[in-house]
Amino acid sequence: MSCENDIAETLRRAGYRLTPQRLLIVQALRHGGRHMSAAEIAEEVHKVHPYVDLSTVYRTLDVLKRMRLVTSTDMGSGDVLFEWAPEAPHHHLICSACGNVDEIGPEYFRPLEERLLRELGFEADMHHFAVFGLCRACRASAEAGDDDEA
């Protein structure tokens, strides 16, 4: 069964149809292989179907997010970026200085997730998010700069 058939069946079970516009949006994101803004997805869709509105892209992404087929993350660029939901959850470490993005697995956040549930009764959605800070290289560069000033 093709990925499109799988998606169509998933949408049908949730009460949605896989319209031609939705299919193009899904294909653009799923086969894009990267985080994409809604505008970038619309650009890809317009190559095949130039009459798909940006609002259709946003509505479709909203449906796919609620179904956990797509994740969205503010990666610090000013736009929310979307990604086809990976098989295994992952998170991003984003350097505020150089913009480097590294992926990390959920094991780093399981202790926090468990503690929030145990101590506060709060079930956190730890599916996909970004953590901003300084990468190793930028920290080393900043520390070397501090040493030069001393």
Task: Give a three-class secondary structure readout of 101-128.
Answer: EEEECHHHCHHHHHHHHHHHCCCCCCCC
- Mean pLDDT over the full length of the chain: 85
The last residue of one of the domains, among 65, 85, 105, is: 85
Say whether 89 sits in a helix, a strand or coil.
coil
What is the pLDDT at residue 1?
43
72 and 6 in one domain? yes
What is the pLDDT at residue 7?
77
Number of structural domains (the chain) is 2
126 and 54 in one domain? no
pLDDT band at 148 (very low <50, low <70, confident <90, very high): low
Closest CA to 58 of 84, 85, 25: 25
Question: Structure pTM?
Answer: 0.72
The last residue of one of the domains, among 85, 105, 135, is: 85
147 and 123 in one domain? yes
Burial class (CB in 10 A: 0-12, 13-18, 19+), 17: exposed
What is the residue range of 92's domain?
88-150
pLDDT band at 147 (very low <50, low <70, confident <90, very high): low
pLDDT of 115 above 90: yes
The last residue of one of the domains, among 29, 52, 85, is: 85
pLDDT of 149 above 70: no
Distance CA 53, CA 132 (A): 33
Contact by Cβ (8 Å): 82, 76 = no
pLDDT of 137 above 60: yes
4 and 22 in one domain? yes
What is the pLDDT at residue 75?
75
User: Pairing between strand 101-104 and 70-74?
Assistant: unpaired
134 and 62 in one domain? no
Task: Specify the CATH number for the domain of residue 98.
Answer: 3.30.1490.190
pLDDT band at 134 (very low <50, low <70, confident <90, very high): very high
Distance CA 135, CA 117 (A): 30
User: What values do phi and psi take at 44, rounded to 5?
Assistant: -65, -45
For residue 37, what are its two tokens?
């803004």
pLDDT digits (tens, 9 = 90+) for 27-71: 898 888 888 999 999 999 999 888 989 999 999 999 998 888 888
Contact by Cβ (8 Å): 39, 54 = yes
